[in-house]
Amino acid sequence: MWRSGEYFYTNSFLKELGYDNFITTRKAGDMKIPKLRNIVIGEQTHSTNFREVNYIPNLIKNNDGFITTKQGLWLGVFTADCLPVYVVSNNSGFSSRPKVGALLHAGRLGVLNDIVGKCIDYFMGELDFKLRDIFVVVGPHISLFYYETDLQGLLASSLYKRGLLRDNLKLTNLCTFKQEDFFSYRADNQTTSRMLSGLKIN
């Protein structure tokens, strides 16, 4: 599902649903640079705050995710062990309805405080989607073997309890600690370097 490249990985499932996407690799360098342009980013604080956007604003303070209905607008989050989580709508059979895409930064606090579940609630409450039409894709992150908390397992358990279909949650075995393609806060001696994940509605 995740296809590797020299400078970034892409997810074929998201692509099939109509969403361009990526996560950069170590070889692309530290993406947390001051003059990053043409992508929506926030000041991440391990909160459960996210915002719906349809343009590129200035850096949004205390914000760990974005939702958009605007085609062509890139959403971005930074990670180096935390989970980048892509939440998207499947508009099959509803061609007149705009797609919705969200990209979230979820570390231990974000997972425990249910940032992904709150985003799904927003899809259902504010945007009127059914749970069956919402898909969640998890990007590369630190695995249980190298961290005391199974972040992906906790997330999956929480989402299944909400009623998310198992086929609608796409997990990954790509580990940022184990695989040298990625920056890892823990493996790289508390590095400040970060990968950038991106999501765009086609």
CA distance 51 to 35: 21
Which tokens in the block code for residue 83? 């989970």
CA distance 35 to 71: 23
Question: What pLDDT shows up at residue 92?
Answer: 65
Task: Express each pLDDT in 145-165 by its tens digit.
Answer: 999 999 999 999 999 999 999
CA distance 17 to 160: 21
The SS3 assignment for 39 reads: coil
Distance (Å) of CA 162 to CA 52, 85, 107, 155, 188: 22, 17, 20, 11, 35
* Interstrand relation of 51-52 and 65-68 (parallel, antiparallel or unpaired): parallel
Question: What pLDDT shows up at residue 97?
Answer: 77
Q: Is this model's pTM higher than 0.75 or not? A: yes
CA distance 197 to 84: 7
Question: What pLDDT shows up at residue 20?
Answer: 98
Task: Select from 88, 86, 21, 79 the least CA-distant residue to 46.
Answer: 79
Would you list the domain boundaries of the chain? 2-201
Question: What pLDDT shows up at residue 33?
Answer: 79
Find the angle CA(71)-CA(73)-CA(79) to the nearest 5 degrees. Answer: 130
Task: Select from 56, 49, 97, 46 the least CA-distant residue to 198.
Answer: 56
Question: What pLDDT shows up at residue 200?
Answer: 98
Contact 52, 118 (CB under 8 A): no
Question: What pLDDT shows up at residue 66?
Answer: 98
Domain 2-201 has CATH 3.60.140.10: yes
Computed on alpha carbons and rounded to an integer, the radius of gyration of the chain in Å comes to: 16
Question: What pLDDT shows up at residue 91?
Answer: 75
* Interstrand relation of 134-138 and 83-89 (parallel, antiparallel or unpaired): antiparallel
Which tokens in the block code for residue 108? 């231990």
Question: What pLDDT shows up at residue 59?
Answer: 86
Per-residue pLDDT of the chain (202 residues; tens, 9 = 90+): 899 999 999 999 999 999 999 999 999 999 987 667 899 999 999 999 999 999 998 889 999 999 999 999 999 999 999 999 999 998 766 556 789 999 999 999 999 999 999 999 999 999 999 999 999 999 999 999 999 999 999 999 999 999 999 999 999 999 999 999 999 999 999 999 999 999 999 9
Task: Express each pLDDT in 118-148 by its tens digit.
Answer: 999 999 999 999 999 999 999 999 999 999 9
The SS3 assignment for 120 reads: helix
